[in-house]
Structure 1
Amino acid sequence: MPDLWEKLLLTGIVVAVALVLRLVLVFAIRRTVKSLVSRERDVGDDLGGRARRILARASGVSAERHRQRVETLGSLLRNIVDVVLLVVVVLTVLATFGVPMGPLIASAGVGGVALGFGAQSLVKDYLSGIFMLAEDQFGVGDLIRVGELTGTVQEVTLRVTKLRDASGTVWYVRNGEVLTLGNVSQGYSTATIDVPVAIDEDPVRVQDLLRTAVGRMDEEPEFAELLLEPPSVLGVGAMEGGTMTVQVLIKTGPNQQWAPMRAVRARAQRALAEAGVRGPILPGGVAPPSTPGAT
């Protein structure tokens, strides 16, 4: 009987030590998460409003996204701590009561190998999900390309990523199956607009007209939050048949190039038409008078 009470006392001590250790580790994890989130918020507060938004677009990160990623990793670490401590406590208690550990560990090893072979795809999915979160490859709201799929990220878990494409279809992609991934929403987007005119027009004059028409778009309120720098007239990009193509380059926040592209086309058409610049020469030598287009 005294021996039983001694074993129960040892069991209580083991459980108490495990609980105290869990409290310490969870407290450390939470403090670290809180510190990382606060540091990101402080850096954002030191910047001006537009500067902070431009920095977030250029780097592909934001304070909210950083907070979500850090908290997700913190939750994962807490779960790992719970599982490890539970396994250690159970094995220690069984050893205290004299349960043979050799056959138990051997059986667990064989079972683990069998489970590993049977659920290797599941383990692969979870490991890939952990690395995706840790490396911040993408987040909720990002527009990504996975194989032949292109869609907006709706949800990210350790096992699957949920995407919604342009037609509204929701796709579930296993993280372990993602071999090549493109994130359209990180960094910035660029677009080249082709402005076709008649091949015998003066290219220098056409470029000067385009610079006057679109060169200061980034200073206008409508486009100040979209354009990262003034549109750049690159010059003549191609000459074919009766068409000379002048190219304009814009650089915007991630996936925000569509509205500026339409505006550049409209302004280019209007400016060139007002200046009398002819459009591409059609087959047969006929050139539309002062009606250039943009593609």
Structure 2
Amino acid sequence: MEKLFTNEFWETVIANLQGWLINELPGVLILILVLLVVLRLVSFSLKRLKKTLVSRSQKSEKGDAAEVEKRIITLVGIINGLVKIVLWVIVIMILLKKFGVDIGPILASAGIIGVAIGFGSQELVRDFISGFFILLENQVRTGDVAVINGTGGLVEKIEMRTITLRDFSGVVHIFQNGKINTLSNMTKEWSAMVFDIGVAYKENVDTVIEVMREVGNSMQNDENFKNDILEPIEIFGLDQFGDSALVIKARIKTKPIQQWTIGREYRKRLKVAFDKRNIEIPFPHTTIYWGEEISPLKLNVSDSPLVKTKEN
């Protein structure tokens, strides 16, 4: 303590300070200036990149431009944040070295802490990395109907860590991005309703196909539905011989999420058209043979309709 009050001590401190100001301060100022310039350049470059990508998405005819813009902004924001963190860490380490602080122990401690955090938060890191690639690859978007790990619903929110689905019953399901094993997007670019139409064995298949095509064409020419139907109905023909019906497969391509509306309307119109042409939509029945006479006994199975549909 006595040294603090001696002229020799203060002369030494002032001399060291003057030496540091002359030798080290210019380097520190230049380093800070370089950091600010690099940060401005990074920010400017990312803004230009964002504008370019958004402009391209708006010119593209595929996909929702607003949704693509949101995805681009999210990804650019993540990249900007990571670059800033890396630059600041490097500059702080250099400044500590300039001030005479031994950064070796700091780096060693940071490494140990990083390993501990890595073990404790590996799921979180995995979720963020998976979420980043989900956004980058445009696997699914807000508003899509998707099936994640066997659970289907409307995608309400996509974040870096989780995806939120709401099913038809209104139940909300939240999935960690790192634990998504299967993801099926039912509404990307276009959708389709696939029909398995069952008719009686006595019906003429060509006539049934013609009626199905007429109903499909009438819907495509309807002002209320033509904008949602992308292509004329595809009828693939006789698909299988069922227990009590001939099954004819068909498909209608629609805009995303419109396949269920189009499918319900098509089935309703097809039922009316079949009734007008006396085309039978059969129910399961069994024929019993008794002696020399054939006595058909039809057994109703109300819970097994033969007009089946499935979504694609």
Instruction: State TM-score, norm by structure 2.
Output: 0.81
Mapping of residues 134-153 of structure 1, within 5 Å:
134-153=136-155
Q: Distance in 1 between matches of 2:106 and 2:46?
A: 32
Structure showing greater radius of gyration is: 2
Indicate if the aligned counterparts of 2:155 and 2:163 stay in contact, CA closer than 8 A: yes
Mapping of residues 90-239 of structure 1, within 5 Å:
90-239=92-241
2:37 to 4, 16, 20: 20
Matched letter for residue 260 of structure 1: I
Displacement of 1:109 after TM fit? Answer: 1.6
Mapping of residues 15-94 of structure 1, within 5 Å:
15-41=32-58, 43-44=59-60, 52=61, 56=62, 61-94=63-96
RMSD over aligned Cα atoms? 2.2
Residue 7 of structure 2 is aligned to residue 5 of structure 1: no
Q: Secondary structure at the match of 1:221?
A: coil
Q: Secondary structure at the match of 2:258?
A: coil
Aligned residues between the structures: 276
The verdict on how the C-alpha distance between 1:212 and 1:172 changes in structure 2, with shifts beyond 3 A counting, is closer
Q: Distance in 2 between matches of 1:171 and 1:269?
A: 36
Alignment match, 1:240: 242
Indicate if the aligned counterparts of 1:269 and 1:293 stay in contact, CA closer than 8 A: no
Displacement of 1:2 after TM fit? Answer: 0.8
Per-residue CA shift, 1:195-241, capped at 9, x if unaligned? 33221122122222222232342232222222111112322233334
1:257 to 256, 259, 263: 259
Gaps of 5+ in 1: 45-51
The verdict on how the C-alpha distance between 1:268 and 1:31 changes in structure 2, with shifts beyond 3 A counting, is same
Q: Distance in 1 between matches of 2:272 and 2:297?
A: 21
Displacement of 1:183 after TM fit? Answer: 1.1
The verdict on how the C-alpha distance between 1:265 and 1:286 changes in structure 2, with shifts beyond 3 A counting, is farther
Q: Secondary structure at the match of 1:215?
A: helix
Matched letter for residue 125 of structure 2: V
Displacement of 1:81 after TM fit? Answer: 1.7
Indicate if the aligned counterparts of 1:192 and 1:250 stay in contact, CA closer than 8 A: yes
Displacement of 1:188 after TM fit? Answer: 2.4
Alignment match, 1:47: none
Indicate if the aligned counterparts of 2:54 and 2:72 stay in contact, CA closer than 8 A: yes
Q: Distance in 2 between matches of 1:293 and 1:210?
A: 16
The verdict on how the C-alpha distance between 1:231 and 1:26 changes in structure 2, with shifts beyond 3 A counting, is same
Q: Secondary structure at the match of 2:229?
A: coil
Per-residue CA shift, 1:136-190, capped at 9, x if unaligned? 1112111121113222222222112222222222222111111211111213222
Matched letter for residue 106 of structure 2: L
Per-residue CA shift, 1:82-108, capped at 9, x if unaligned? 101110110010010111122222222
Deviating above 6 A after TM superposition, structure 1's stretches of 4 or more consecutive aligned residues are none
Indicate if the aligned counterparts of 2:198 and 2:281 stay in contact, CA closer than 8 A: yes
Q: Distance in 1 between matches of 2:172 and 2:192?
A: 27
The verdict on how the C-alpha distance between 1:276 and 1:154 changes in structure 2, with shifts beyond 3 A counting, is closer
Indicate if the aligned counterparts of 1:189 and 1:254 stay in contact, CA closer than 8 A: yes
Matched letter for residue 88 of structure 1: I
Gaps of 5+ in 2: 1-16, 288-295, 299-304
Alignment match, 1:272: 274
The verdict on how the C-alpha distance between 1:169 and 1:242 changes in structure 2, with shifts beyond 3 A counting, is closer
Q: Distance in 2 between matches of 1:108 and 1:209?
A: 74
